[in-house]
C-alpha cells in the first residue's frame, strides 16, 4: 500500500501507537501528531519496542484545542485516523473540559482533511456513544444504537464521545464535500501495552492486580484487543463499503468484574494473588456514593448490561477479533513484563 500516506492523531496513546505499527507493517507512509514535540522520541521508542522501524514515522505537533498545525499535519496525506481524544484519570467537575476538545478537535481535523483533499477519515469513537443513557434494548447493542447524552448515568466522558461523533457526522452531511467518514466504536480496550500510557481498561487491570480494591462491583465490561481495534481502523480506512458507516469493535460477550477477577487468578496464578474475587453488595455502593466520586460512578454501572455485536464489522469488512479472554490476559502479562505492577 505504498501510495497510502496516513496521518494518525494521538501518536503516544494506546490505540494510536498500535495503529501506527499496523500501518508501518503494510508499508504505508505514516505521520502522527503529538501536542508537544518533546514527546517525539517517546513515539519512536514505542514503535521500536513493537518491532517496527521508527524511521518510517514523521512526528508533528498539533493540539485539539488549537487551529495551528492541523493544515500542515494533513498536507499530502490520503487518509486520517483520528484517534486522539481526551480521556481523564477522573471525571472532571466541568464537563466542558472533555466535551470541548473532543468535539472541537474532531471538527478541526475534518475541516483540515476536507481542505487538503483527504479521501477518508476514520474517527475513533467509542461504545460510550452507543450504550448509555437509555434502557438496555433487550439484545446486544449495535451500531444503530446511540447514547442519549442527557440520559441517566451519562458521565462527562460518555457525553463528550457522543457529542464528538454526532458533530463529525453533522459536519460530513453539511459541509464535508467529497470527504468520507467512518467511525470505530470500541468497548473496553485490552491487549498488550507497549508503555506506561494505559487505557482505562488496562488501568483497571493494573489496580486489580495490585490489590488496590478489596472487592469488585456488580457490573460488566465489554472487551476487545487493541491489535484488533487497529486492524478495524485500517479496514475501515480502505474498504469501499466502509464510508458513511459505524463499526462496533468488540470480542464476544461482555465479562462481569468477578469473571474478570477469576480469569486473572486462573491465568496468572501467583502473580494475581492480590486480585479480589468478592463482590461488593449493591447497597454498600449506593450508601457510599454520596461521599465518594469513585463509588458514585460505580453506582451508575450497577447491574447494567454491556453486550454488543461485531456482526456488522465481520459481515461488511471481514473483521474477526481475537478471543476476549486472550485479550485480557495479554494485557495483564504485558503489565508484568513492563514492570508496572507492585512486587
Summarised one tens digit per residue, pLDDT across range 219-238 is: 899 999 999 999 999 999 99
> How many residues are present in the chain?
343
Per-domain boundaries in the chain: 5-198+223-252+307-323
Q: Confidence band (pLDDT; 50, 70, 90) for 87?
A: low
Question: Which comes out higher in pLDDT, residue 291 or 234?
Answer: 234
Cell triple for 58: 514523521
Q: Any idea which residue has 524511521 for its cell?
A: 55
- Among 93, 159, 161, 286, the active-site one is 161
- pLDDT surpasses 80 at 297: no
**Least confident window among 34-48, 77-91, 202-216:** 77-91
Average pLDDT along the chain: 93
Reply yes or no on whether 161 is catalytic: yes
- pLDDT surpasses 50 at 274: yes
Q: How confident is the model over 309-338, as a mean pLDDT?
A: 97
Beta strand pairing call for 5-9 and 29-34:
parallel
CATH superfamily of the domain spanning 5-198+223-252+307-323: NAD(P)-binding Rossmann-like Domain (3.40.50.720)
Q: Confidence band (pLDDT; 50, 70, 90) for 103?
A: very high
What is the pLDDT at residue 91? 66
Q: How confident is the model over 112-130, as a mean pLDDT?
A: 98
- pLDDT surpasses 90 at 89: no
- What percent of the chain has pLDDT above 70? 96
What is the pLDDT at residue 235? 98
What is the pLDDT at residue 1? 46
What is the pLDDT at residue 263? 98
Can you say whether the dihedral through the CA atoms of 307, 309, 310, 314 is positive or negative? positive
Amino acid at each position: 500500500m505504498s501510495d497510502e500516506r496516513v496521518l494518525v492523531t494521538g501518536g503516544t496513546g494506546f490505540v494510536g501507537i498500535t495503529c501506527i505499527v499496523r500501518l508501518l507493517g503494510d508499508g504505508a507512509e505514516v505521520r502522527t501528531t503529538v501536542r508537544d514535540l518533546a514527546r517525539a522520541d517517546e513515539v519512536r521508542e514505542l514503535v521500536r519496542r513493537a518491532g517496527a522501524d521508527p524511521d518510517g514515522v514523521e512526528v508533528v505537533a498539533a493540539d485539539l484545542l488549537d487551529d495551528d498545525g492541523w493544515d500542515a499535519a494533513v498536507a499530502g496525506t490520503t487518509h486520517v485516523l483520528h484517534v486522539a481524544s481526551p480521556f481523564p484519570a477522573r471525571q472532571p467537575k466541568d464537563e466542558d473540559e472533555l466535551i470541548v476538545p473532543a468535539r472541537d478537535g474532531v471538527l478541526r481535523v475534518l475541516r483540515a482533511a476536507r481542505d487538503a483533499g483527504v479521501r477518508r477519515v476514520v474517527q475513533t469513537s467509542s461504545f460510550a456513544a452507543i450504550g448509555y443513557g437509555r434502557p438496555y434494548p433487550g439484545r446486544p447493542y449495535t451500531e444503530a444504537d446511540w447514547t442519549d447524552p442527557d440520559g441517566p448515568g451519562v458521565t462527562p466522558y460518555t457525553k463528550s464521545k457522543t457529542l464528538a461523533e454526532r458533530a463529525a457526522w453533522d459536519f460530513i452531511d453539511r459541509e464535508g464535500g467529497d470527504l468520507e467518514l467512518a467511525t470505530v466504536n470500541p468497548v473496553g480496550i485490552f491487549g498488550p501495552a507497549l508503555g506506561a500510557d494505559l487505557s482505562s481498561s488496562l488501568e483497571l487491570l493494573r489496580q486489580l492486580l495490585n490489590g488496590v480494591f478489596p472487592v469488585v462491583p456488580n457490573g460488566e465490561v465489554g472487551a476487545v484487543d487493541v491489535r484488533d481495534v487497529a486492524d478495524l481502523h485500517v479496514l475501515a480506512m480502505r474498504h469501499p463499503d466502509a464510508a458513511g458507516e459505524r463499526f462496533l469493535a468488540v470480542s464476544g460477550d461482555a465479562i462481569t468484574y468477578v469473571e474478570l477477577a477469576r480469569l486473572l487468578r486462573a491465568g496468572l496464578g501467583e502473580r494475581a494473588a492480590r486480585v479480589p474475587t468478592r463482590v461488593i453488595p449493591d447497597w454498600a455502593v449506593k450508601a457510599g456514593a454520596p461521599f465518594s466520586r469513585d463509588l458514585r460512578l460505580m453506582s451508575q454501572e450497577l447491574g447494567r448490561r454491556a453486550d454488543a455485536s461485531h456482526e456488522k464489522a465481520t459481515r461488511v469488512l471481514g473483521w474477526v477479533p481475537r478471543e476476549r479472554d486472550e485479550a485480557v490476559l495479554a494485557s495483564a502479562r504485558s503489565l508484568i513484563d513492563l514492570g508496572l505492577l507492585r512486587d
